[in-house]
Amino acid sequence: MNLPNKLTVFRIILIPVFMLILAFNPAWGTWQVLGAQLPVSHFVAAILFIIASLTDFLDGQIARRQHLVTNFGKFADPLADKLLVMTALIFFVQFNWVAAWMVAIIVIRELAITGLRTLIVENGGQVLAAAMPGKIKTFSQMIAIIFFLLHNVGFAALHIPFAQIMIWIALIATIYSGIDYFYKNRSVFNDGFK
pLDDT of residue 28: 87
Residue 63 lies in a domain: yes
Residue 194 lies in a domain: no
Instruction: Tell me the C-alpha to C-alpha distance, in Å, between residue 92 and each of 1, 30, 110.
Output: 34, 19, 17
* Domain total of the chain: 1
Residues of the chain with pLDDT under 70: 121, 124-130, 191-194
Q: Provide the residue range defining the domain that includes 158.
A: 3-189
pLDDT of residue 191: 53
Residue 28 lies in a domain: yes
pLDDT of residue 125: 63
Amino acid residing at 158: L
30-33/36-39 β-pairing: antiparallel
CATH number at residue 31: 1.20.120.1760
Residue 76 lies in a domain: yes
Residue 36 φ/ψ, nearest 5 degrees: -115, 140
Residue 57 lies in a domain: yes
